């Protein structure tokens, strides 16, 4: 199989240490502008996966992200933001990282090199065929991710991967290989940069579009968000004022009574 890691190719820039701060920032930004167009190219495959994912979620399935290092942390970030944003349970979208929770903050030596561990981690959740698993690895060669996706595919789960290399080993084992080819990094091999940005964008697209399809947004508002701080209570109040054409005091009373924007909208009587 013809496989070349563009994520490891030499940077398009040299002598970085001789650049001024302005030059560094401008050149990093120039590279970052390439990311959105690379994601655009991957939309057809993202679309296919999300359509299948939504069907599985409607059957009671869950969405798992598995990754190592930066990729694993990005998956955990997206998973952790779904309950407060969309009001879903914490066990609907789950992020797993090689090395366990310790690896969220500190690198765990050799954790990503165990090809069997991801499947063991997934099975801690009594995985079923209704579940979907996304493997996140910029290189497309991380053993932890490859092993997990390979086993999940064989088991009957819907699987996808997010990688920034074309025709990687990871892509060959995922049902829906999402390849976002962003090219060489500004700092050679530093895939926390453009590759990480691309992965974050794709994860946003997957979870947000799926939750909208599941009815978790009304109009363009997060009516199922958890009212966990003053900012969100104020946002919910404004939503009710706008939607119901009522005063702030009445909106606050409704929100306090029904503990959520959707409940308040559904129970409002003029």
Tokens of 125: 């959740």
Residue 270 pLDDT greater than 80, yes or no: no
The one catalytic residue among 8, 52, 81, 166: 81
Q: Which residue has the tokens 């079923």?
A: 128
pLDDT band at 223 (very low <50, low <70, confident <90, very high): very high
The yes-or-no answer on residue 81 being catalytic is yes
| Confidence (pLDDT) at 129 | 97
71 CB neighbour count, 10 Å cutoff: 31
Give the Cα separation of 170 and 145 in Å (integer).
Answer: 8
Considering only CA atoms, which of 159, 139, 138, 140 is closest in space to residue 150? 159
pLDDT band at 2 (very low <50, low <70, confident <90, very high): low
pLDDT over 70 percentage in the chain:
99
**pLDDT digit string, tens, across residues 56-98:** 999 999 999 999 999 999 999 999 999 999 999 999 999 999 9
| Confidence (pLDDT) at 105 | 87
Tokens of 52: 């299948």
Give the Cα separation of 240 and 38 in Å (integer).
Answer: 38
Residue 109 pLDDT greater than 70, yes or no: yes
Q: Which residue has the tokens 């209704």?
A: 130
Stretch 6-29: mean pLDDT, rounded?
A: 97
**pLDDT digit string, tens, across residues 120-156:** 999 999 999 999 999 999 999 999 999 999 999 999 9
Say what angle helices 248-258 and 230-244 make with each other, to 10 degrees.
Answer: 120
Q: Mean pLDDT in the chain?
A: 95
Pick from 12-16, 28-32, 108-112, 250-254: least confident? 108-112
Stretch 36-57: mean pLDDT, rounded?
A: 98
Check: CB of residue 134 under 8 Å from CB of residue 210.
no
Residue 101 pLDDT greater than 90, yes or no: no
Per-range mean pLDDT, top range of 158-167, 222-231, 255-264: 158-167
Contacts (Cβ under 8 Å, ≥6 apart) of 177: 45, 160, 161, 163, 170, 171
The one catalytic residue among 17, 31, 41, 112: 112
| Confidence (pLDDT) at 207 | 98
| Confidence (pLDDT) at 107 | 79
SS3 (DSSP) at 75: helix
The number of residues making up the chain comes to 270
pLDDT band at 213 (very low <50, low <70, confident <90, very high): very high
| Confidence (pLDDT) at 29 | 98
| Confidence (pLDDT) at 1 | 52
Check: CB of residue 94 under 8 Å from CB of residue 164.
no
**pLDDT digit string, tens, across residues 180-192:** 999 999 999 999 9
The yes-or-no answer on residue 179 being catalytic is no
pTM of the model: 0.93
């Amino acid at each position: 199989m013809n496989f070349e890691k563009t994520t490891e190719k030499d940077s398009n820039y040299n002598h970085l240490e001789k650049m001024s701060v302005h030059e560094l920032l401008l050149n990093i930004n120039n590279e970052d502008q390439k990311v959105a167009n690379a994601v655009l190219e991957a939309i057809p495959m993202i679309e296919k996966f999300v359509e299948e994912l939504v069907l599985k979620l409607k059957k009671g399935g869950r969405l798992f992200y598995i990754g190592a290092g930066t990729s694993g942390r990005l998956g955990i970030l997206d998973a952790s933001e779904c309950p407060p944003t969309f009001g879903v349970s914490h066990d609907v979208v789950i992020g797993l990282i090689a090395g366990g929770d310790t690896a969220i903050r500190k690198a765990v030596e050799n954790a990503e090199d165990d090809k069997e561990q991801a499947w063991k981690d997934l099975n801690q959740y009594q995985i079923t065929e209704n579940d979907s698993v996304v493997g996140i690895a910029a290189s497309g060669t991380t053993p932890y991710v490859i092993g997990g996706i390979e086993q999940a595919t064989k088991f009957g789960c819907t699987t996808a991967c997010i990688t920034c290399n074309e025709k990687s080993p990871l892509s060959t084992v995922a049902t829906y290989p999402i390849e976002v080819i962003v090219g060489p990094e500004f700092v050679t091999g530093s895939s926390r940069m453009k590759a990480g940005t691309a992965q974050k964008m794709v994860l946003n697209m997957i979870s947000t579009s799926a939750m909208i399809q599941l009815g978790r947004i009304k109009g363009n508002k997060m009516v199922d968000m958890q009212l966990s701080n003053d900012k969100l209570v104020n946002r919910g109040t404004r939503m009710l004022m706008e939607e119901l054409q009522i005063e702030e005091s009445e909106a606050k009373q409704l929100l306090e009574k029904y503990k959520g924007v959707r409940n308040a909208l559904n129970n409002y009587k003029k």
